Amino acid sequence: MAKIDDVDDAVHIANGEQRGLASEQQSTGPKRSTEGIFLVPQPTSDPADPLNWPTWRKIVILATVSLAAFIAVVEATANQTGFVYQAKLYHKTPVEISLLGML
């Protein structure tokens, strides 16, 4: 729960007053950035905490997840150009072939 002093400090920070908060920070109080802004959520000292990961690792994970999402969309639509040829090959209509992708 926030104390009155914490709220007062936040107001001063919002008004552009530094008041040396980052240097006065105690290890038992809420963590702040180098600019004196309260960090929400509060990072832990655990190296497995994603808030403590280096920027390059966060970017690699974001790129991997984005690529997987992109591939899922492309894979679902990749066969559209082949529907007509497959329909002739399997003696089906193109609509019937396109419905096979929903299985």
Q: Judge if 38 and 57 occupy the same domain.
A: no
- For the chain, helix, strand, coil in percent to 5 are 60, 0, 40
- Are residues 26 and 7 part of one domain? yes
Its domain, for residue 98, covers 53-103
pLDDT in tens, 15-31: 555 554 444 444 567 88
What pLDDT shows up at residue 27? 57
Number of domains in the chain: 2
For residue 61, give both structure tokens.
Answer: 């994970």
In this prediction, residue 62 carries a pLDDT of: 97
Shared-domain flag, residues 41 and 84:
no
Reported residue count of the chain is 103
Cα–Cα distance measured from residue 16 to residue 13, given in angstroms and rounded to the nearest whole number: 5
103 token code pair: 């299985």
Do residues 41 and 59 both lie within one domain?
no
For the ranges 64-68, 72-76, 95-99, the maximum mean pLDDT occurs at: 64-68
